[in-house]
A and B are shown apart, each in its own frame.
Chain A
Amino acid sequence: QKEVEQNSGPLSVPEGAIASLNCTYSDRGSQSFFWYRQYSGKSPELIMFIYSNGDKEDGRFTAQLNKASQYVSLLIRDSQPSDSATYLCAVNNMKTSYDKVIFGPGTSLSVIP
């Protein structure tokens, strides 16, 4: 089992719709969860992080964390064509004594005008 898994997509949604991106992780001790966005040819940029169970909202983005199910998701409301990118889920891995951030393979999102 891979440490962090995501649907590779591509996920296509129409402009204005809600895009739902999902991520599961294997290490139950993980405490920090991040969503990065990566445009083609660019480096990843952090868009949200979440530490506690529940929802965290930032503008059109909502991160949801369920530690019991080892599941984290990202919702993008009112999707725009500029949201078209690859979204990377990242989890800090607690198997060592120190921080180690593991990335999922990413989900490609395409927002259709």
Chain B
Amino acid sequence: KAGVTQTPRYLIKTRGQQVTLSCSPISGHRSVSWYQQTPGQGLQFLFEYFSETQRNKGNFPGRFSGRQFSNSRSEMNVSTLELGDSALYLCASSLARTGRMNTEAFFGQGTRLTVV
């Protein structure tokens, strides 16, 4: 069974540009979460999508947005890039069964974004 696939793996952008990252979850997983990881802040929750709806959102500015498609694939967009947006962006998928149990998240390899 294929794992979580994130593309691209590496990206270099300049300040002010925008970027779109893609995540394909494990087949059958309907929940996709996005995280930003930096050495100083650790793993910070961005948002979570389930059945094309954003269910949870972390404390990030509106420049960070996302969406989920009917096949559960998700994209994350960052507009007006800032130097501080340089980070590893991780996507995780889970079954998210009802009853709030068994929500193990499986991570993709991440997209390393560098803003110059």
Contacts and interface: CB of A to CB of B under 8 A. Distances in A.
A29 B90 CA distance: 26
Interface string A16-51: 000000000000000110100000001111100101
A3 to B, nearest CB: 10
A67 to B, nearest CB: 15
Interface residues of A, number: 24
Most chain A CB inside 10 Å of its own CB: which residue of B42, B94, B106, B109: B42
Given A43-B107, A44-B107, A46-B106, A103 B45 contact: yes
Contacts of A43: 90, 107-110
Contact of A49 (B90, B104, B108): B104
A88 B31 contact: no
B102 interface: yes
B105 A46 contact: yes
19 contacts: A31-B101, A32-B100, A43-B107, A44-B90, A46-B106, A90-B105, A94-B100, A96-B55, A98-B55, A99-B31, A99-B100, A99-B103, A100-B45, A101-B33, A101-B94, A101-B103, A103-B35, A104-B42, A105-B42
A74 to B, nearest CB: 15
A80 interface: no
A57 B22 CA distance: 36
Interface of B: 31, 33, 35, 42-43, 45, 48, 50, 55-56, 90, 92, 94, 96, 100-110
Contacts of A96: 55-56
Contacts of B96: 98-99
A28 to B, nearest CB: 14
- Main secondary structure on A side of the interface with B: loop
Nearest to A104: B42
A102 interface: yes
A92 B90 CA distance: 18
A103 B103 contact: no
B100 to A, nearest CB: 6
